[in-house]
Amino acid sequence: MRLKDKVAVITGAASGIGRETALLFSAEGAKLILADLNEKEGLLVRKEIHEAGGEAEFIRIDVSNAQDCLEMIELAETKFGGLHILFNNAGIMHSCDDNAENTEEAIFDLTLAVNVKGVFFGCKYGIPAIRKSGGGSIINTASFVALLGAATAQIAYTASKGAVLSMTRELAAIHARENIRVNALCPGPLRTELLMKFLDSEEKKQRRLVHIPMGRFGEAAEMAKAALYLASEDASFVTGSSFMVDGGITSAYVTPE
């Protein structure tokens, strides 16, 4: 087992990448703190892990709230005795996020509060716990749009993921000699509820698909496998990276056949 005796915190664990990662990390031996606003779905993930013989606790949190994030980390320490892996995965992509002219200030503020402050608070409280545990891995979910402009306007989301990438690089440089690795997982377009709600027409879906050399949306389970690599000792010399798992979208501009 690649994560035997490790304690991991996963935000956004109730669905999508977070859910798939929780199930995979548990199967690889990790003890889990599952954090999400969606209590109903989060408890179902915990139940699924328990039924498979794993160990997990759920906590309902808002990652944009500092006290909630502190309590999440404290739960890992009190329940499982430490923290080795922090997956700052929770994020939003608001349906009203558009270009700079049309996006309301409230939407911009909300997106950055969840997507950027959520990562900041996770690291603020998680890094001391990881340090006390002897080191470990932090994975921050960014996006391919941190490197490319999105074909469908989403200015707040794109700005937020660029900030996550910048924070990741700085945190990696600061904490590398403490045996704390910090990497950004950068998914391409995925067939998840989050993106499918945003790409709410066939025209919008095709506008994304046409740029992906592999010609399909990625799956949350594929991102979970990438997160497992970054969390494990297989990635022991990997820090500060923008880990692209994007079907080739950042490597080539593809036009319709």
166 in a structural domain = yes
CA 165 to chain centre: 12
Residue among 125, 157, 229, 253 flagged as catalytic: 157
Give the number of domains in the chain.
Answer: 1
151 in a structural domain = yes
d(CA 211, CA 206): 9
Tell me the CATH number at 55. Answer: 3.40.50.720
242 in a structural domain = no
Which pLDDT belongs to residue 230?
Answer: 98
169 in a structural domain = yes
Which pLDDT belongs to residue 184?
Answer: 98
32 in a structural domain = yes
155 in a structural domain = yes
pLDDT in tens, the chain (257 residues): 999 999 999 999 999 999 999 999 999 999 999 999 999 999 999 999 999 999 999 999 999 999 999 999 999 999 999 999 999 999 999 989 999 999 999 999 999 999 999 999 999 999 999 999 999 999 999 999 999 887 788 999 999 999 999 999 999 999 999 999 999 999 988 887 777 677 777 767 776 777 788 888 899 999 999 999 999 999 999 999 999 999 998 887 655 45
78 in a structural domain = yes
Which pLDDT belongs to residue 16?
Answer: 94
Which pLDDT belongs to residue 129?
Answer: 98
| HSE, side-chain direction, 13 A CA sphere, residue 67 | 0
Active-site residue flag, 125: no
pTM for this model (two decimals): 0.94
